[in-house]
Amino acid sequence: MTARTSLTVVLAAGEGTRMRSRLPKVLHQIAGRAMLAHVLAAAPRGASDKVAVVVGPDHQAVSDEARRVSLDATTFVQRERLGTAHAVLAARDAIAKGADDLLIVFGDTPLIDASTFERLRAPLRDGAALVVLGFHAKDPTGYGRLLVEGDRLLGIREHGDASEAERKITLCNAGVMAMDGKTALQILDRIGNGNSKNEYYLTDAVAIVGELGRRAVVIETGEDEVRGINTKSQLAEAEQVMQAKLRTAALEAGVTMTAPETVFLAADTTFGRDVTIEPFVVFGPGVSIADGAVIHAFSNIVGANIGKNASVGPYARLRPGTVLGDNTRIGNFVEVKAATIDAGAKANHLTYIGDAHVGEGANIGAGTITCNYDGVDKHRTEIGAGAFVGTNSSLVAPVKIGAGAYIGSGSVITRDVPDDALAVERSAQTVKQGWAKRFREMKLRGRKAKD
């Protein structure tokens, strides 16, 4: 049997006015990833699966994000917001290609799980024309109520159109649906806008399926998974749900965390075996941590590959483009950006390494700064294997420190240093014998004279 083909249509045309932000709603992030990207990651993505995203006018950034996540995603613009069914029909050209399963999901329900899409598709195989994802809402106000009889779904009543009795129903429409792709357009084209909002309601598809003599069913899920995000408070709540999920997954994968509730993960953070993360560590996107690495407390890590048995922090900041080799040590108040630190190299205290390469086993003394920016351009610093950079040195890029070279403490290095050489750049030390003693005595004499 060949795999059933699918098309997932993501409705992402919402302005998100209540987010009070210039950013389109679906681009707001949860666990370091746009809501839209979470939804796209959950949608079926095999060779026989396609994705269409319906965006609002002037939402180029939403289309860009869709294509960044799913290279082959097609985007469609809904010019006027005339309702959810109208939004789906913006993707008419994609739907007309007739995938076996048409999946519809809102771009602002980022906690949706991939397995749910599979559960929704199953009844289509048995001849159902429409499968709706339902959940029991603690407070159903505002949601469409599911009108069911036995295992059949007869209709969905939007809150504004529901009777007193119907409003008592707590089984609600999550907004995620699966439709028989072959009859989808026939169903969608029959939806009218004769309701209290004069909108084309996708939910009317249920009654139409009944009129066509076909079957509509409900699949249930928990409320957490289908939280819709309309406000910053809801965004923060969803973040908590997502963090709890990510922490549990990390613990189950064998990561040691003594206070997981204080660790903030990104959706794409990956861990090897026997990784330890101390309390109060924050991860942004793009971080991988190899076997045996330890991330000490209060570190902030974004876009970094951390090698085996590396030690990071406490209070380290790793910025995008950081690659730490095996057994490296990045200590307290060290910042690394766009730099590769080879195996066994150390920067244990108070250092900035940016746009640089640090060779194997090099030792970067406390207070070393790579001066990578001249106010206009960025420049690179190369530090050879086994080099020793004395404390409080400034390496003014572009500059190369040779393998095994030695930089005297407090130097400002502006020219390349050959392999195994010593470079010192500071004025000669002056020593005046007995000066301090004479100075003290003079001061004390002065004080006595005043008394």
Nearest residue to ligand UD1, by Cβ distance, number only: 144
Part of the chain binding ligand UD1 (CB under 6 A), chosen from 104-112, 327-335, 384-392, 394-402: 104-112
Using the minimum distance from each CB to ligand UD1, give the nearer residue, 78 or 368. 78
Rule CB under 6 A: is residue 116 a binding residue for ligand UD1?
no
Part of the chain binding ligand UD1 (CB under 6 A), chosen from 42-50, 78-86, 257-265, 426-434: 78-86
Part of the chain binding ligand UD1 (CB under 6 A), chosen from 37-45, 105-113, 248-256, 320-328: 105-113
Please answer whether residues 412 and 425 qualify as being in contact, where contact means their C-beta atoms are separated by less than 8 angstroms.
Answer: yes
DSSP code at position 48: T
Nearest residue to Mg ion, by Cβ distance, number only: 228
Window 50-69: residues binding ligand UD1 (CB under 6 A): 54
Window 310-369: residues binding Mg ion (CB under 5 A): none
Please answer whether residues 13 and 81 qualify as being in contact, where contact means their C-beta atoms are separated by less than 8 angstroms.
Answer: yes
28 is a catalytic site residue: no
Output b/e per residue, 113-142; b: 16+ Cβ within 10 A: eeebbeebbebbeeebbbbbbbbebeebee
Residue-by-residue DSSP string for 20-35:
-SSS-GGGSEETTEEH
Rule CB under 6 A: is residue 143 a binding residue for ligand UD1?
yes
Rule CB under 6 A: is residue 82 a binding residue for ligand UD1?
yes
Rule CB under 6 A: is residue 175 a binding residue for ligand UD1?
yes
- Cα–chain center distance at 364: 32
Rule CB under 6 A: is residue 243 a binding residue for ligand UD1?
no
The count of other CB atoms within 10 Å of the CB of residue 17 is 10
Q: How far apart are CA 124 and CA 119, in angstroms?
A: 10
Alpha-helix runs per DSSP H in 141-212: 164-167, 184-189, 205-211
Q: Which residues pair with 399 in a beta bridge?
A: 381
Q: How far apart are CA 292 and CA 276, in angstroms?
A: 7
Rule CB under 6 A: is residue 158 a binding residue for ligand UD1?
yes
Q: Which residue among the candidates 86, 349, 357, 379 is catalytic per the annotation?
A: 349
Using the minimum distance from each CB to Mg ion, give the nearer residue, 228 or 279. 228
Vertex 103: Cα angle to 153 and 245 (nearest 5): 95
Among 172, 242, 330, 417, binds ligand UD1 (CB under 6 A): 172
**Tokens representing residue 98 in the block:** 């007739």
Part of the chain binding ligand UD1 (CB under 6 A), chosen from 80-88, 267-275, 372-380, 439-447: 80-88
Rule CB under 5 A: is residue 398 a binding residue for Mg ion?
no
What is the nearest approach in angstroms of ligand UD1 to the Cβ of residue 102?
A: 15
* Run of H or E including 51: strand 49-55
Q: Which residues bind Mg ion (CB under 5 A)?
A: 228
Q: Which residues are catalytic?
A: 349
Q: Which residues bind ligand UD1 (CB under 6 A)?
A: 11, 13-14, 54, 78, 81-84, 86-87, 106-108, 143-144, 156, 158, 172-175, 201-203, 228
